[in-house]
């Protein structure tokens, strides 16, 4: 029997409409290239996002056609987040940290029709302009430089009032946004989000045992808006009608700390690299910054427990999250369940240092190489797989991606994990980074976390190197804190007693910095190449 409920679709347009109606005076603040702050309200944002929608419709944009952005985090990018889907189009955020040829490949694969670009990123566009074919290019003036020949001003493009604009009809399963994985293995793969998946993701991630958002909060996405939808933060924030602060191109620790303090930001999200720089700045000058009580959403790679402890000393609480481009991206968050209310401090930290437990509507399971589904006992380790309404079921315009999905339709994440009896996921590695020593897996993530707890270590990445007896053994590549005096023996002695003997690195080598991917993660492939000819005997 049919229910009596209305079947109104879940659309981003409704998030925007409500935000403007209920919270017209809430502020949106953006740090500009010259560090002045652009300020306006939801009333202005709403007006301009709709003007963008109308201009795109008038320019002939058709349902689900892609509009690319090449932009930092700021108000105009937020307008694109809503204005492009409002027009029935798909917002395709181009990752400006990728190699220019890769950006061109991605824009062509997605058949992007128009491009919105920051004027400060025109030199980057220049590097691949001859390889792409955007019909029109709109330039956002963040500085006072002239708009190049053949391109148009974004301001002029959206200048027409849109009071009478009517959103084109759309289905909740229409595409609204698109991101490509960074493609550290093979070509990048496109993921197409829908209005429905984005609305549900925004709703669920705002729940009290998620980011716990309300209209009283002030959110700053450090995570780039060109990567995995900035973890959905702009959508969840607009849904809740809260103040949004954008860092513009300034992602360094002092600039961010200044924004946190002056704009009273109480939730910020970013990868561990960013937070490592922030904690070092805080520890170097503990009296300098007067921060509000903050929650830091940290994900993208494993968060060392030592980092959570260091932030707690400043009354800044890290919430670890796990996910990927394919999962919109939030799939789990490490909030403490009531079961840990009476647990001792170490046990609570251990739990917070996991990837957390699956969000409502997200199912997770772990599977071994033989296809067996493993129990949630905290011990058995296998590939983590997930399914849910904001998990992709395939890749955009790609025939051969079956190996990324199981026969029964689950996404194979390529992450190796154990799940404990409380449902908390402990990621031990990525499939391509695992270390198999004498038939047993050694967790590079666990080793790295232990090494990074040493107070003379700035960073550490552990990789597998072939070994004549054990197949593979772990090589620890350690970056010393600046000015620190540290030997390999000291690192090994520090680890003894903290880890099983067979899990200890076979050797410790010191490097100047850990190579990074375009999204700030350890580039272990690059590191393995760097140590391709590693010789245990000579070490
Ligand atoms: P890619 O780096 O492949 O472009 P994403 O940026 O979407 O893709 O990153 C997803 C990957 O990041 C996950 O598969 C996982 O390996 C890693 N990751 C994300 N969050 C965490 C976390 N909290 N702990 C460990 N690894 C994480």
- The answer, yes or no, to whether any atom of ligand 1 lies below 6 A from the CB of 425, is no
Active-site annotation holder among 65, 172, 305, 326:
326
Confidence class for position 112, pLDDT limits 50, 70, 90? very high
* Helix, strand, coil content of the chain in percent (nearest 5): 30, 25, 45
Confirm whether 48 is domain-assigned: no
Instruction: Let me know if 529 is exposed, middle or buried by CB neighbors in 10 A (0-12, 13-18, 19+).
Output: exposed
CATH of the domain at 486: 3.30.300.30
Q: Please choose from 188, 224, 323, 381 the residue to mutate so as to test ligand 1's pocket, defined by most ligand atoms within 8 A of CB.
A: 323
Whether 524 lines ligand 1, by a CB cut-off of 6 Å, is no
Q: How far is the CA of 415 from the centre of ligand 1 (A)?
A: 8
- The SS3 of residue 176 is strand
Candidate from 108-112, 451-455, 479-483, 534-538 with smallest mean pLDDT: 534-538
Catalytic residue, chosen from 26, 69, 93, 181, is 181
Q: Closest by alpha carbon to 81, among 280, 261, 236?
A: 236
| pLDDT tens digit sequence for 289-315 | 999 999 999 999 889 999 999 999 999
Residue 509 lies in a domain: yes
Average pLDDT, integer, range 323-337: 97
pLDDT of residue 45: 98
Provide the percentage of residues in the chain whose pLDDT is more than 70: 99
What pLDDT is attached to residue 135? 98
**Cα gap 492→497, rounded to integer Å:** 10
Q: Using DSSP bridges, classify how beta strands 243-246 and 267-270 pair: parallel, antiparallel or unpaired.
A: unpaired
Q: Report which protein residue has its CA nearest ligand 1's atom 6.
A: 324
Q: Is the CB of 182 under 6 A from ligand 1?
A: yes
Q: How far is the CA of 183 from the centre of ligand 1 (A)?
A: 12
pLDDT tens-place string over residues 347-402: 999 999 999 999 999 999 999 989 999 999 999 999 999 999 999 999 999 876 66
Give 324 Cα–ligand 1 centroid separation in angstroms.
5
Peptide bond into 329 cis (omega under 30): yes
Domain range enclosing 456: 433-530
Q: For residue 465, what are the contacts with CB-CB under 8 A and spacing of at least 6?
A: 472, 473, 474, 475, 506, 528, 531, 534, 536
The pLDDT of residue 268: 98
Q: Tell me, yes or no, whether 467 lies in a domain.
A: yes
In the block, residue with structure tokens 């025109």:
122
226 pocket-lining for ligand 1 (C-beta < 6 Å): no
- Structural contact between residues 115 and 70, judged by C-beta atoms closer than 8 angstroms: yes
Would residue 449 count as lying in a domain? yes
Cα of 505 from ligand 1 centre, angstroms: 24
Per-residue model confidence as pLDDT tens digits over 134-147: 999 999 999 999 99
pLDDT in tens, 420-438: 999 999 999 888 888 988 8
pTM of the model: 0.91
Quick: pLDDT tens for 447-492: 999 999 999 999 999 999 998 888 899 999 999 998 999 999 999 9
The pLDDT value given to residue 401: 67
Is 503 within the bounds of a domain? yes
436 vs 118, higher pLDDT: 118
Q: Report whether residue 231 contacts ligand 1, using a CB cutoff of 6 Å.
A: no
Pocket test for ligand 1, best of 102, 366, 415 (most atoms within 8 A of CB): 415
**Locus of tokens 């799940």:** 419
**Annotated catalytic residue, options 376, 441, 470, 536:** 441
Instruction: Give the β-pairing of 457-467 and 471-480.
Output: antiparallel
> Rounded to the nearest whole angstrom, what is the distance from the C-alpha of residue 99 to the centroid of ligand 1?
20
The verdict on whether 181 is a catalytic residue reads: yes
Residue 185 has pLDDT above 60, yes or no: no
**Total count of domains within the chain:** 1
Paired with 40 in beta bridges are 28
Annotated active-site residue 273? The verdict is no
Whether residue 454 is contained in a domain is answered as: yes
Ligand 1 centroid to Cα of residue 302, in Å, is 8
Among the ranges 42-51, 98-107, 299-308, which has the highest mean pLDDT value? Answer: 42-51
Residue 383 lies inside a defined structural domain of this protein:
no
500 lies in a domain? yes
Q: Is 354 a catalytic site residue?
A: no
Share of the chain above pLDDT 90, in %: 85
Q: Categorize the per-residue pLDDT at 125 as very low, low, confident or very high, splitting at 50, 70 and 90.
A: very high
pLDDT digits (tens, 9 = 90+) for 232-249: 999 999 999 999 999 999
* Cβ of 181 less than 6 Å from ligand 1: yes
């Amino acid at each position: 029997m049919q229910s009596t409920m209305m079947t109104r679709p879940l659309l981003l347009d409704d998030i925007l409409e409500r935000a403007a109606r209920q919270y017209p005076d809430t502020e949106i603040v953006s740090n500009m290239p010259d560090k002045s702050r652009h300020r306006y309200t939801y009333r202005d944002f709403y007006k301009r996002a709709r003007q963008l929608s109308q201009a795109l419709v008038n320019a002939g944009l058709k349902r689900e056609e892609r509009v690319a952005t090449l932009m930092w985090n700021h108000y105009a990018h937020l307008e694109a987040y809503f204005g492009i889907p409002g027009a029935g189009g798909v917002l395709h955020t181009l990752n400006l940290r990728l190699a220019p040829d890769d950006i061109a490949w991605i824009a062509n694969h997605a058949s992007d029709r128009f491009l919105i670009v920051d004027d400060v990123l025109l030199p980057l566009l220049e590097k691949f302009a001859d390889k792409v074919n955007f019909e029109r290019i709109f330039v956002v003036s963040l500085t006072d430089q002239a708009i190049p020949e053949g391109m148009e001003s974004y301001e002029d493009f959206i200048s027409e009032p849109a009071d009478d604009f009517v959103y084109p009809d759309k289905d909740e399963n229409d595409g609204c946004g698109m991101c490509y994985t960074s493609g550290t293995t093979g070509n990048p793969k496109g993921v197409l989000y829908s209005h429905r998946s984005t609305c549900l993701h925004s709703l669920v991630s705002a729940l009290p045992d998620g980011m716990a958002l309300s209209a009283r909060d002030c959110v700053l996405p450090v995570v780039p808006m060109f990567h995995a939808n900035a973890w959905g933060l702009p959508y969840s924030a607009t849904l809740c009608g809260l103040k949004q602060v954008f860092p513009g191109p300034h992602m360094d620790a002092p600039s961010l700390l200044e924004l946190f303090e002056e704009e009273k930001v109480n939730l910020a999200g970013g990868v561990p690299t960013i937070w490592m720089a922030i904690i070092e700045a805080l520890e170097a000058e503990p009296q300098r910054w007067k921060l509000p009580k903050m929650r830091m959403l940290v994900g993208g790679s494993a968060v060392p427990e030592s980092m959570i402890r260091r932030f707690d000393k400043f009354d800044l609480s890290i919430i670890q999250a796990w996910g990927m481009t394919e999962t919109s991206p939030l799939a789990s968050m490490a909030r403490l369940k009531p079961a840990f209310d009476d647990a001792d401090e170490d046990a609570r930290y251990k739990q917070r240092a996991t990837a957390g437990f699956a969000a409502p509507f997200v199912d997770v399971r772990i599977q071994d190489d033989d296809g067996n589904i493993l129990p949630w006992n905290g011990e058995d380790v296998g590939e983590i797989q997930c399914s849910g309404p904001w998990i992709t079921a395939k890749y955009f315009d790609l025939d051969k991606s079956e190996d990324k999905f199981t026969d029964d339709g689950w996404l194979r994440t390529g992450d190796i994990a154990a799940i404990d009896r409380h449902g908390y996921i402990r990621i031990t590695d990525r499939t391509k980074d695992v270390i198999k020593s004498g038939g047993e897996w050694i967790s590079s993530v666990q080793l790295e976390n232990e090494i990074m707890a040493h107070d003379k270590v700035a960073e550490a990445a552990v990789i597998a190197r072939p070994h004549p007896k054990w197949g593979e053994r772990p090589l620890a590549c350690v970056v010393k804190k600046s000015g620190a005096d540290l030997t390999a023996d000291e690192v090994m002695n520090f680890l003894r007693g903290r880890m099983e003997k067979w899990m200890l690195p076979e050797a410790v080598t010191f490097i100047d910095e850990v190579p990074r991917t375009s999204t700030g993660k350890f580039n272990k492939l690059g590191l393995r190449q760097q140590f391709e000819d590693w010789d245990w005997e000579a070490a």
